[in-house]
A and B are shown apart, each in its own frame.
Chain A
Amino acid sequence: EPEVTQTPSHQVTQMGQEVILRCVPISNHLYFYWYRQILGQKVEFLVSFYNNEISEKSEIFDDQFSVERPDGSNFTLKIRSTKLEDSAMYFCASTDGPDSPLHFGNGTRLTVT
């Protein structure tokens, strides 16, 4: 069964550094998402992306965050200058339409030191 793939599984970075989290959505999917889960807390919506542009973003998704689909397969989340509070599990998800369930990747655990 096709799946959403995220790399790396764990990334450690120093505060103030830029980090890029990578995702390969399921190949025929058109809608892409990033979610965040701070340790022990609920999963929070960050941003949705469709037709090469952001469809919606949450309050968490400030100017430090950006998303990109640089080619036909990858979907990336960039955090320009990481803060300690950015430490979390970041989940990528995709779907082939709003009427279909989201498929989540296994997540990237980001640790900012």
Chain B
Amino acid sequence: AQKVTQAQTEISVVEKEDVTLDCVYETRDTTYYLFWYKQPPSGELVFLIRRNSFDEQNEISGRYSWNFQKSTSSFNFTITASQVVDSAVYFCAHSMNRDDKIIFGKGTRLHILP
């Protein structure tokens, strides 16, 4: 069965610090997709990244980076030099190959303190 675990319920860091959000997934499939979504206080879901199981290359997009490790079934998300605008709930999610239903983790609420 698919499962996504975000062990950190809530994190607070001071602005400009780096912060890593953890995500561990469970799947029996060899082909699958992993996602991160951001939900700011306004409530919408903002797509950040999608990664398929065959691509273990880490990705960097500005201050955001993602570390995909199949050996530990983890897909962690790091924000470098955090800013107050990064304050949001971040959801890690998973979908199986050719089954496009996305299963979300419970989310990590990130507070960036000025």
Q: Residue-by-residue, is B63-102 near A (CB-CB < 8 Å gives 1, otherwise 0)?
A: 0000000000000000000000000000101000011111
Number of A positions contacting B (CB below 8 A): 22
In the complex, A75 has a CB within 8 A of chain B? no
Q: Which of B99, B100, B107 contacts A102 (CB 8 A)?
A: B100
Contact in complex: A56, B101 (CB < 8 Å):
yes
Main secondary structure of the interface of B (DSSP, over half): strand
A43 to B104, CA, bound (A): 6
Q: Which residues on the B side are within 8 Å of A89 (C-beta)?
A: 43
Interface residues on B, range: 20 to 34
14 contacts between A and B (CB under 8 A): A31-B100, A42-B106, A43-B45, A44-B104, A45-B103, A91-B45, A95-B100, A97-B100, A98-B100, A101-B47, A102-B47, A102-B102, A103-B47, A109-B43
**Residues of B participating in the A interface, judged by any CB pair closer than 8 Å:** 35, 37, 42-45, 47, 50, 91, 93, 98-107
